[in-house]
Structure 1
Amino acid sequence: MFAPIVFLTTLVSLVSAESRAKNPALNAALRTAASNYDRHDLLPKDSDWVHDFTKHTDFTSSVGAVLTADGASMPALQGLGMTVSLLKLAPCGMLPPHLHPRATNTVTAFTGNTTTWMIGENGVRTIVTQLTPMKMTIFPAGSLHVMQNVDCEPAILLSALNSDDAGTLNILPALWTVPEDIIRAGFGRKESFNPQEVGMAIPRVGTGAIIGSEECKKRCGIKPSEG
């Protein structure tokens, strides 16, 4: 008898608070506004047109964070087809394997040295880039991608997506919401592979960032308890 779901809480953890509109009624009204004049009437304050990334609860996270301005967090973006995220990566900070189902993503580095990996679909080669300051790369819609700051100093990058509701799917936490025997079969493993044990070690989505590879942690002198 297999467990139907390895983590009952994982599905909830895949949805961040940022994904939900702060004022759904305002977002709905902006979607159906008859004209630009009507949109402006719904956004009457100058402050409606400013997003302060420093006010985000994860701005000072020790592992880094994805700080997002989209239709949900900044209603003025509703219907404009754009999301902008500030990516803060701690030394060895990483954005785990994920994809955006509804948007193409460009990422530009301002500080640090970030390695990216992108896989567009089965059979195509993995694209590897090195984002040092003032360099940009592209992750087409639906492509799987991973990023890690390989420096021992923090990195700052800016992410832009061509949707105000791009969505993010973190691959490993998502996979671990299906039955254990399906996971085991997918990995081509039998009894020697314990999905429950492996799944418990997968970081939750959290701030969107985690501390990355053991090689980087060792090189930068990051203790296991810090990662």
Structure 2
Amino acid sequence: MLLASLLTLLLPSLTTAADQTLNPDLNAKLMLAATNVDRQALLPKNEDWIFDFTQQKVYTFAPGSVVNANAATFPTLAGVGMTMAQLNLGPCAMLPPHWHPRATNLVVAVTGNITTWMVGENGVKVVTTELTPGKMTVFPRASLHAMQNNGCDNAQLISALNSDDAGTTNIFNTAFDNIPHEVLAAAFGDDEFDAGTVGKNIPKVGTGSVMGSAECRRRCGI
């Protein structure tokens, strides 16, 4: 039942693209710096210490985006062990089911009304939270989670992860793009399950946010 519900949420989805390393040479030098003095000498400008979320190429509310400040996009964070992300969700937008293999994730709502779902592992219950401004939830490392903006206006959240290379695995795109279709059919308990057709309905990698439930879209006239 849970898998079917998550699949229903995900079908119109778009997964989160992997961040491209902005300056591999600088990252390498920062990771090899013997002292903090040496490290700061590699970051001599005040501008080296500023990350503007709003100026990143993926920043959008149509339908939304995940904008990461991490070792790849902001070299100053190389070796620091932290990622900060700005989560933008347009009306009825959602982040489809995914997990972070190398980090626990704290998410706090800045604007909007957002529902989140989290499954820690087999045998535990689904944790559902309602986030409004100032409220926070936690997604433990490698837990499966998703979230949706329930409102007809933009919503924004701030996300902190305890790794500068947290990684993201979007469950259905990963499965349908990489697992043999006959194996997927067996996993669904239906030899007639047309994994190829279902897989084509899952959009390719993008900014991370997708349109959410039909109920919300009807209510907001989308």
SS in 1 for 2:111: coil
Distance 1:49 1:28 in 2: 17
Cα deviation for residue 211 of structure 1 reads 0.6
Superposed, which structure 2 residues align to 1:23-38 within 5 Å? Answer: 23-38=23-38
Look up the match of 1:76. 76
Distance 2:118 2:54 in 1: 29
Superposed, which structure 2 residues align to 1:216-227 within 5 Å? Answer: 216-222=216-222
Aligned-residue CA RMSD in angstroms? 1.3
Distance 1:16 1:142 in 2: 18
Look up the match of 1:4. none
Distance 1:15 1:170 in 2: 7
**Quick check: 2:129–2:137 contact (8 Å CA) kept in 1?**
yes
**Quick check: 2:15–2:203 contact (8 Å CA) kept in 1?**
no
Superposed, which structure 2 residues align to 1:6-17 within 5 Å? Answer: 16=17
Q: For residues 38-59 of structure 1, what are the alpha-carbon distances to aligned partners after superposition, in whole Å with 9 as ceiling and x for unaligned?
A: 1101111110100011111122
1:42 to 2:42 alignment = yes
Look up the match of 1:131. 131
Distance 1:142 1:23, change over 3 A: same
Distance 1:199 1:145, change over 3 A: same
Identity, % of aligned positions: 54
Distance 1:129 1:205 in 2: 27
SS in 1 for 2:26: helix
Cα deviation for residue 209 of structure 1 reads 0.3
Q: For residues 6-46 of structure 1, what are the alpha-carbon distances to aligned partners after superposition, in whole Å with 9 as ceiling and x for unaligned?
A: xxxxxxx977352x211111111111110000110111111
Look up the match of 2:11. none
Distance 1:197 1:46 in 2: 51
SS in 2 for 1:158: strand
Superposed, which structure 2 residues align to 1:93-132 within 5 Å? Answer: 93-132=93-132
Distance 1:43 1:207 in 2: 29
The TM-score, its normalising length taken from structure 2, stands at 0.91
Alignment-mate amino acid for residue 213 of structure 1: S
Superposed, which structure 2 residues align to 1:45-194 within 5 Å? Answer: 45-176=45-176, 177-191=178-192, 193-194=193-194
Alignment-mate amino acid for residue 113 of structure 2: N
Cα deviation for residue 155 of structure 1 reads 0.3
The TM-score, its normalising length taken from structure 1, stands at 0.89
Cα deviation for residue 60 of structure 1 reads 2.9
**Quick check: 2:102–2:167 contact (8 Å CA) kept in 1?**
yes
Runs of 4+ that moved beyond 6 A? none
Q: For residues 116-143 of structure 1, what are the alpha-carbon distances to aligned partners after superposition, in whole Å with 9 as ceiling and x for unaligned?
A: 0000000000000000000000000000
Distance 2:208 2:49 in 1: 25
Gaps of 5+ in 1: 1-12, 223-227
Number of equivalences: 208
Cα deviation for residue 61 of structure 1 reads 4.4
